[in-house]
Amino acid sequence: MLADGILLKVEGLTKRFPGVVALDGVDLEARAGEVHAICGENGAGKSTLIKMLTGAYTPDSGTINFEGQIYHGLTPRKAMGVGIACIYQELNLIPHLSVAENIFLGREIYLAEKINVLDRKQMREKAAELLADLGLAISPTARVGTLGVGHQQMIEICRAMWSNAKLIIMDEPTSSLSEKEADDLFRVMAQMKARGVTILFISHRLDEVRANCDRVTVMRDGKTVARVDMKDSSIDEIIQLMVGRNIQNKYPKQRAAHGDVVLKVNKLNRKGVLHDVSFELRAGEVLGFAGLVGAGRTETARAITGADPYDSGNIEVFGKPVTIRTPLDSINAGIAFLTENRKEQGLILIQSVAFNATIVNMHKYGTNGWLSLKRVRDTAQKICAEMRLKTSGMEMPVGKLSGGNQQKVVIAKWLLSKSRIFIFDEPTRGIDVGAKVEVYKLINQLVADGAGVIIICSEMEEVLGMADRILVMHEGEITGEMSREDATQEKIMYAASGFRQAS
């Protein structure tokens, strides 16, 4: 152990990739039993730093001092061996196996190790013990695939605990959790901290960092710019350190004049998923959908846009009833759906920026069936310039862009679709502070031009910051409606927990 209870001390870590310095002399220091945040915009070098600690990358220079032992580079096996575990955004669990089997995967308890016979009973008991220690009501025999994301993450934590990890790295652990699940996670983190486990916490959600971390290391452009004590600094200061400039307004909300009803949904039903969902959206309005993960908000959007079928209900667009069975029907009706998972559902990562931006109704860019490649490129170039997309060219594969720029390509694609109704599902997930503000400004511009916008947000602050009116869903039903002026976090939580609004 190093002096002053310091568990990990990284000094001068540098990593170059062809044409770019990803990390430039990064320093990091974490004490035993500390929750230490690493903050920075996308591309600041957080992922590269983590990969160095987990042994995925070898540093070009610099040292990693872990428990007084100096390493010039780690391998995944070595990192695991010394007690460094990482919980990635995409969980590494096997859905068909039980909770206990997943926890002990690769580190099983044997009855007779020589002949490879497992002690299933002891593993079940030990798993139950680990789960109970963390205060989790999960059965060790449950199949992991049947659990929610929040619980799955807990299983990963149990795995790390079983492997006697001293340092647990959590990469954006709350990005796919509801607020309640996130609270559970923070409770478990506090328990691990009390046992002397160090947690490196990477998150874009600064309120979480503020509430749960002891210290924070801020990174920018591959360098560490500051290490501050949480109790001596404010969120605004951290944001300033991250972006190197002052972001005055996190939510640059501008109200637009509201016009006619552009979308009217009446008693939309899907068995077991949606129950009598009815609402209206006006031109120039930003309608926010709040609720816990799994409350039926995404499902509502998917049913309206033909991504999923629905059993009954009517949809009217611009006062006319429409039948929407496929995404193409939705596009033809003027409704754009910007899905929450841009990598899985929004983009074709191996294809170019131009291709992705013009994919909706691509036949428009041609005459007599022949595509005009020049028109495709020029159109894409124009919209990307308007959106200030950072790319080396229209032929760049979108998979190589940062999260914020990928999201801009998704928005560009739907702007070009000539839609008048835009449904944004988690529009700012996984993108950095600067890019978020740009997305909000684009939403402002859309409503100023008379489009109707629906935003589905799991961050309550965002929905409060950007929506004119908020609908709250719980288990497939709308349980609350409130105007921007009336809405509070408490009221939303109340409705999101299934209590109907007293009206």
Partner 1 sequence: MSNEAITNKASELKADAKSGAMAEKLYQLGVLLSLLLLCAVMSVLSSRFLSFDNLMNVASQAAVSAIVSIGMFLAILTAGIDLSVGSVLALSTMMMGIASDHWGLNPYICILVCLGTGALLGLANGLLLTKLHLPHPFISTLGMQKMARGIALFVTAAAPISMFPDEIQFLGNNSVGQVPVSFILVGILYAAMYLFLTRTSTGRYIYAVGGNKEAARLSGIKVNSILNLVYVISGFTAALAGLVLAGRVNAVYPLAGLDYETDAIAAVIIGGASFFGGVGSIGNTIIGVLLIAVLRNGLNLLNVDSAFQTFAIGAVIVVAVAVDVLRQNVMKSGR
Q: How far is the CB of 327 from partner 1 (least distance, A)?
A: 5
Do 42 and 432 touch, CB atoms closer than 8 A? yes
Greatest C-alpha distance within the chain: 75
d(CA 97, CA 103): 10
Q: How far is the CB of 363 from partner 1 (least distance, A)?
A: 4
Q: How far is the CB of 92 from partner 1 (least distance, A)?
A: 17
**Enclosing H/E stretch for 321:** strand 320-322
Q: Which is nearer to partner 1, 162 or 424 (CB)?
A: 424
Do 464 and 489 touch, CB atoms closer than 8 A? yes
Distances (CA, A) of 398 to 76, 170, 180, 351: 29, 26, 34, 6
Q: Which is nearer to partner 1, 32 or 411 (CB)?
A: 411
Q: Which is nearer to partner 1, 36 or 302 (CB)?
A: 302
d(CA 276, CA 247): 41
d(CA 412, CA 384): 7
d(CA 456, CA 303): 14
Measured on CA atoms in the order 434, 228, 52, 151, is the torsion positive or negative?
Answer: negative
Q: Which is nearer to partner 1, 195 or 363 (CB)?
A: 363
Q: Which is nearer to partner 1, 39 or 496 (CB)?
A: 39
What are the residues binding partner 1 (CB under 8 A)?
18-20, 41, 43, 221, 243-244, 305, 307, 326-328, 330-332, 337, 339, 344-351, 355, 359-363, 365-366, 369-371, 373, 390-393, 395-397, 399-401, 413, 417, 434
Measured on CA atoms in the order 34, 35, 39, 44, is the torsion positive or negative?
Answer: positive
Q: Which is nearer to partner 1, 257 or 373 (CB)?
A: 373
What are the beta bridge partners of residue 248? none
Q: How far is the CB of 19 from partner 1 (least distance, A)?
A: 3
Beta carbons within 8 Å of 245's beta carbon, 6+ residues apart: none
Q: How far is the CB of 307 from partner 1 (least distance, A)?
A: 6
Q: How far is the CB of 359 from partner 1 (least distance, A)?
A: 5
> Taking CA 405 as the corner, what is the angle to CA 400 and CA 409, rounded to the nearest 5 degrees?
95
Q: Which two tokens stand for residue 446?
A: 């859309």
Q: Which is nearer to partner 1, 224 or 479 (CB)?
A: 224
Picking from 482, 469, 488, the residue whose alpha carbon sits closest to that of residue 253 is 469
Q: How far is the CB of 243 from partner 1 (least distance, A)?
A: 7
Q: How far is the CB of 253 from partner 1 (least distance, A)?
A: 24
d(CA 471, CA 456): 10
Q: How far is the CB of 114 from partner 1 (least distance, A)?
A: 36
Q: How far is the CB of 416 from partner 1 (least distance, A)?
A: 11
Angle between helices 149-162 and 179-194 in degrees, nearest 10: 10
Measured on CA atoms in the order 300, 305, 306, 308, is the torsion positive or negative?
Answer: negative
Q: Which is nearer to partner 1, 362 or 448 (CB)?
A: 362
Q: Which is nearer to partner 1, 24 or 67 (CB)?
A: 24
Q: How far is the CB of 344 from partner 1 (least distance, A)?
A: 6
Q: Which is nearer to partner 1, 235 or 373 (CB)?
A: 373
Do 246 and 240 touch, CB atoms closer than 8 A? yes
Q: Which is nearer to partner 1, 401 or 495 (CB)?
A: 401
* Total residues belonging to the chain: 503
| Single-letter code of the amino acid located at 183 | D
Do 210 and 32 touch, CB atoms closer than 8 A? no
d(CA 353, CA 355): 6
